[in-house]
Amino acid sequence: MSAGERRVVITGIGVTAPGGVGAKNFWTLLTDGRTSTRRISFFDPSPFRSQVAAEVAFDAEAHGLSPQEIRRMDRAAQFAVVTAREAVADSGLEFGTHDPYRTGVTIGSAVGATMSLDQEYRIVSDSGRLELVDHTYAVAHLYDYLVPSSFAAEVAWVVGAEGPTTVVSTGCTSGLDAVGYATEVIREGRADVMIAGATDAPISPITVACFDAIKATTPRNDDAERASRPFDATRNGFVLGEGAAVFVLEEYEAARRRGAKLYAEVAGYATRSNAFHMTGLRPDGREMAEAIAVALTAARLDRTDVDYINAHGSGTKQNDRHETAAFKRSLGEHAYRVPVSSIKSMIGHSLGAIGAIELAASALAIAHNVVPPTANLHTPDPECDLDYVPLTARDWRTDTVLSVGSGFGGFQSAAVLTRADRGDR
Amino acid sequence: MTAVTTARPVASAGSRAVITGLGVAAPTGLGHPAYWRATLAGRRAIGRITRFDPAGYPARLAGEIGDFVAGDHLSSRLLPQTDRMTQLALVSTDWALADAGVQPGDLPEYDMGVITASSSGGFEFGQNELRALWSKGSRHVSAYQSFAWFYAVNSGQISIRHGMRGPSGVVVSDQAGGLEAVAAARRQIVKGIPLIVSGAVDASICPWGWVAQMASERLSVRDDPDRAYLPFDLDANGHVPGEGGAILIVEDAEHAARRGATRVYGEVAGYGSTFDPRPGSGRPPGLRKAIELALEDAEVAAEEVDVVFADAAGVVELDRVEAEAITSVFGSRGVAVTAPKTATGRLYSGGAPLDLAAALLSIRDGIIPPTVGPAAANGYDLDLVAVARPARVRVALVVARGYGGFNSVMVLRSVPT
């Protein structure tokens, strides 16, 4: 790093994930290799092609939200607020002692308040009977559902942030992009502390229906616990999930001065577009490979420095092939030596949130020198021939993690986390 | 296989972001020449909603784009998979690129990105699919729903249409997002990307979108277009929403010079953003600070600012906060203030990019467009421009605020030719 360049570190982590509310429970679930995919319970899924999802057992009141907050906030906003509180508590940062204009918020979300919008539409349209929907049945906070910048607003209020605040919404890479965005805000000098992460709660009939329509989600309804099978030859679609992860990001010198716990440095980040198709991927993975190369260059690392890849690994036929090609293209022979895993095998695909949740797993992999496994990987696919850490977590010296995401709209993102206390490069 | 090695070094800190192309889709005009003529003439395009029958709703006025036929500009393959806001954004992008004289095929694919803002995505598309779901069943939901309504749709579709594979993004900060997106575009230019398509277009004038917008309790419920949207007037009673916005070509100044850009409208010189304190905290609103941060970022003194394009909420308390922020920085009636959005309605994330376009055209032509409607700063200590005013405009400041407390301010500066 050249003199005067600002570095960004993770000093607090909060996670709300299926099967593991709280970062500690989340990490236990991952390293146990357990899955949290089940038959959908939020509504009767029987009319749908895919009837499986990874739901969060979430009691908003138990997590300290008031009845009015619960009424006001979409489930995804509730996740964001609870998870941000956990991250801030974990960081030991005392708000009120900082310049509020130097603290900001970046929250990622792919589909915003889609669950509330679905429910509210059903009511104001009387189950679709009214084309001119009846405003007298609308909930008072409907505008907060219309424009999901309300998610960032809710988090800013909780932590007392008055600096740069926004929502980043780039589909399934939103979580990586939100953390990347916040990192750039600190690097640029516009803030010293950013509360950054992502949330989504998409398990609603409209979302399940729209993925049914393009057969993106798995129809493996008879084996819900083993339905998410990234990199396995029998994979046939992703499993919808929900959740949130939020980080406290700080400028490195300030974090070190206050003696903060340093989980990892956000050393590099890049996003590129495939400019190919809104939902399709070319098999060669070239734009993801480009994002990886740019992120490594930004981190001033060589490809052989990568110790672990936290994959997008959604479990669709085309994604896992695309991604495998991208790793080979960007890392060369090293791609065959580095462990790669997909935690979507255990907690499903929570759209915009998952990128942040996967970064949490990446930071915890560095903290514990353990890489989480890819569950349900029993049948190797000749087209996916890397080391995907099947079934069992692995003790593994992990100083540098590459985490990638790929999403509708063609977005391909990559972030590099490094051990923060490994000395100046 | 070999690794990709096209990663470029970070550009020198001297990279400046300039705007070289404008694509406008406004209720007052399609394309920036038509929009600018109407704006200077003070022509207003606010009227009773025609897209659906608004008689049953308390708010009935909007700024609709009346003369846009998507099929005249876009292929029939694209039409069924895109919401109106995406169709408007794609066409605006075509216009902006043409205005900038940029042929995307001539530039390296990773040298171009797309960073837009959105407020509510392709909401009308989503409405129609929700209706299909609840009235007919899940098997009637369109295969396009998964990507036609979400907030990222415009950046994705624009990147595909023009083969732009560089860094792209999408921000949502309600009305402030339109500036946040351009600030994010500028960040990429500073980091060494030559060209970013930025700005925003929003359109959600459909029954479901309308009901959701009304929930903000900020919509004017008057039926008289002359009295409906009156920012900085003590008779203010809310705003009139509209549809549309602007797409801007943000470019590295040296890159623009090297390719012999036909016109450089101005430089994105500074940006500042804050978020208002939690209601009841006792702390002051953040707008003044955002203005100060933007001026500092631009290294511009308050006295150098020639015009402020106001957010102009049209809600008395919010207008007062903005007027106080402006007078505290620029002094009593210390700077010309205008709100041409009084002619179009508030366009959500599209509003601020349209104001940026108007500000750049003010710089080009030496004329400040008028605010249409309010009595001249009735009750406020502002120099509100009521008729088009000839003036030397070298520095313009654009304010955008988003519901919930988002404050964004951008400084534009003329570039010597």
Span B319-368, pLDDT tens digits: 999 999 999 999 999 999 999 999 999 999 999 999 999 999 999 999 99
| pLDDT of amino acid B11 | 39
The dihedral over CA atoms of A344, A347, A353, A356, expressed in degrees to the nearest 10, equals -70
Region of A155 please: left (phi>0), alpha (psi -120 to 50) or beta: alpha
Q: Which residue reads 């979108």 in tokens?
A: B209
Give the residue, B110 or B262, on which the prediction is more confident.
Answer: B110
How does pLDDT run across B388-414, given as a tens digit for each residue? Answer: 999 999 999 999 999 999 999 999 999
Question: Across chain B, what does the average pLDDT equal?
Answer: 95
With CB atoms and an 8 Å threshold, state whether A101 touches B143.
Answer: no
pLDDT-flagged residues of chain A (< 70): 1-4, 422-425
| pLDDT of amino acid B374 | 78
pLDDT at B10 over 50: no
With CB atoms and an 8 Å threshold, state whether A188 touches B187.
Answer: yes
How does pLDDT run across B159-204, given as a tens digit for each residue? Answer: 999 999 999 999 999 999 999 999 999 999 999 999 999 999 999 9
At B345, list the tokens.
């309605």
Q: Nearest chain A residue to B184 by CA: give it.
A: A181
Which residues from chain B sit within 8 angstroms of residue A100, using beta carbons? 277, 283
CB B44 within 8 A of CB B28: yes
Q: Nearest chain A residue to B183 by CA: give it.
A: A185
Which residues from chain B sit within 8 angstroms of residue A46, using beta carbons? none
Q: Nearest chain A residue to B277 by CA: give it.
A: A162
How many other CB atoms are found less than 10 A from the CB of residue A44? 10
Return d(Cα B128, Cα B313) in angstroms, integer. 30
The residues spanned by each domain of chain B are 17-258, 270-413
The maximal CA–CA distance of chain A, rounded, in angstroms, is 64
Which residues from chain A sit within 8 angstroms of residue B11, using beta carbons? none
Nearest Cβ partner of A125 from B126, B134, B281? B134
Return d(Cα B300, Cα A301) in angstroms, integer. 38
**Catalytically annotated residues of A:** 172, 312, 349
| CA nearest neighbour of A148 among A174, A122, A123 | A174
Which residues from chain A sit within 8 angstroms of residue B151, using beta carbons? 110, 112, 148, 169
What is the DSSP code (8-state) at residue A363?
H
Nearest Cβ partner of A149 from B212, B274, B406? B406
| pLDDT of amino acid B271 | 98
Return d(Cα B12, Cα B193) in angstroms, integer. 12
With CB atoms and an 8 Å threshold, state whether A100 touches B277.
Answer: yes
Q: Is A269 on the interface with B (CB under 8 A)?
A: no
Which residues from chain A sit within 8 angstroms of residue B4, using beta carbons? 286, 289-290, 293, 329-330
3-state secondary structure (DSSP) of residue A403: strand
CB B143 within 8 A of CB A213: yes
Q: Which residues contact B11 (CB under 8 A, 6 or more apart)?
A: B190, B191, B192, B252
Return d(Cα A161, Cα A96) in angstroms, integer. 9
**CA-angle at A424, arms to A422 and B3, nearest 5°:** 85
The dihedral over CA atoms of B33, B167, A358, A396, expressed in degrees to the nearest 10, equals -170
Which residues from chain A sit within 8 angstroms of residue B134, using beta carbons? 121-122, 125, 127-128
Q: Which residues contact A391 (CB under 8 A, 6 or more apart)?
A: A33, A373, A374, A375, A376, A377, A378
Half-sphere exposure in the Cβ direction for B323 (13 Å, CA): 22
pLDDT at B2 over 50: no
At B158, list the tokens.
């624009």
Residue range B41-58: average pLDDT? 98
With CB atoms and an 8 Å threshold, state whether A160 touches B406.
Answer: no
| CA nearest neighbour of B150 among B78, B83, B76 | B83
At A172, list the tokens.
């399934």
With CB atoms and an 8 Å threshold, state whether A138 touches B214.
Answer: yes
Question: Residue B376: which pLDDT band, with cuts at 50, 70 and 90?
Answer: low
**What residues of chain A, 281 to 300, have a C-beta less than 8 Å from chain B?**
286-287, 289-290, 293-294, 296-298
pLDDT at B1 over 90: no
Nearest Cβ partner of B138 from A125, A174, A209? A209
Size of interface A-B (CB pairs under 8 A): 300
At B417, list the tokens.
């030719």
How many other CB atoms are found less than 10 A from the CB of residue A131? 15
Q: Which helix (H) or strand (E) holds A241?
A: strand A240-241
How does pLDDT run across A280-296, given as a tens digit for each residue? Answer: 999 999 999 999 999 99
Nearest Cβ partner of B277 from A162, A164, A212? A162
Q: Is A279 on the interface with B (CB under 8 A)?
A: yes
Phi, psi of A268 (to 5 degrees): -155, 150
Q: Nearest chain A residue to B171 by CA: give it.
A: A168
Nearest Cβ partner of B173 from A149, A170, A286? A149
Distance from CA of B368 to the nearest CA of A (A): 30
CB B116 within 8 A of CB B23: no
Return d(Cα A178, Cα A250) in angstroms, integer. 15
CB B125 within 8 A of CB B149: yes
How does pLDDT run across A4-45, given as a tens digit for each residue? Answer: 689 999 999 999 999 989 999 999 999 999 999 999 999 999
How does pLDDT run across A240-294, given as a tens digit for each residue? Answer: 999 999 999 999 999 999 999 999 999 999 999 999 999 999 999 999 999 999 9
Which domains are present in chain A? 8-113+148-418 (3.40.47.10)
User: What class does CATH assign to B270-413?
Assistant: alpha beta
With CB atoms and an 8 Å threshold, state whether B156 touches A171.
Answer: yes
Treating both helix axes as pointing N-terminal to C-terminal, what angle do B351-365 and B32-40 enclose, rounded to 10 degrees? 80
The separation between CA A107 and the C-alpha centre of its own chain, rounded to angstroms, equals 11
Distances (CA, A) of B320 to A43, B27, B236, B241, B315: 47, 27, 11, 20, 8
Which residues from chain B sit within 8 angstroms of residue A48, using beta carbons? 138
Return d(Cα B316, Cα B297) in angstroms, integer. 30
Q: Which residues contact B108 (CB under 8 A, 6 or more apart)?
A: none
Return d(Cα A38, Cα A239) in angstroms, integer. 9
Nearest Cβ partner of B7 from A165, A216, A293? A293
Q: Is A77 on the interface with B (CB under 8 A)?
A: no
Q: Give counts: helices (H), strands (E), chain A.
A: 13, 16
3-state secondary structure (DSSP) of residue A303: helix
Which CATH number does B17-258 carry? 3.40.47.10
**What residues of chain A, 311 to 350, have a C-beta less than 8 Å from chain B?**
328-332
With CB atoms and an 8 Å threshold, state whether A128 touches B135.
Answer: yes
How does pLDDT run across B133-154, given as a tens digit for each residue? Answer: 999 999 999 999 999 999 999 9
Q: Is A101 on the interface with B (CB under 8 A)?
A: yes
At A140, list the tokens.
């008072």
| pLDDT of amino acid A312 | 98
Return d(Cα A158, Cα A86) in angstroms, integer. 11
Distance from CA of A399 to the nearest CA of B (A): 22
Q: Is A132 on the interface with B (CB under 8 A)?
A: yes
Which residues from chain B sit within 8 angstroms of residue A148, using beta carbons? 151, 172
How many other CB atoms are found less than 10 A from the CB of residue B260? 7
Distance from CA of B127 to the nearest CA of A (A): 8
Return d(Cα B47, Cα B192) in angstroms, integer. 45
What is the DSSP code (8-state) at residue A238?
B
3-state secondary structure chain B: CCCCCCCCCCCCCCCCEEEEEEEEEECCEECHHHHHHHHHCCCCCCEECCCCCCCCCCCCEEECCCCCCHHHCCCCCCHHHCCHHHHHHHHHHHHHHHHHCCCHHHCCHHHEEEEEECCCCCHHHHHHHHHHHHHHCHHHCCCCHHHHCCCCHHHHHHHHHHCCCCCCEEEEECECHHHHHHHHHHHHHHCCCCEEEEEEEECCCCHHHHHHHHCCCCECCCCCCCCCCCCCCCCCCCECEECEEEEEEEEEHHHHHHCCCCCCCEEEEEEEEEECCCCCCCCCCCHHHHHHHHHHHHCCCHHHCCEEECCCCCCHHHHHHHHHHHHHHHCCCCCEEECHHHHCCECHHHHHHHHHHHHHHHHHHCEECCCCCCCCCCCCCCEECCCCEECCCCEEEEEEEECCCEEEEEEEECCCC
With CB atoms and an 8 Å threshold, state whether A177 touches B216.
Answer: no
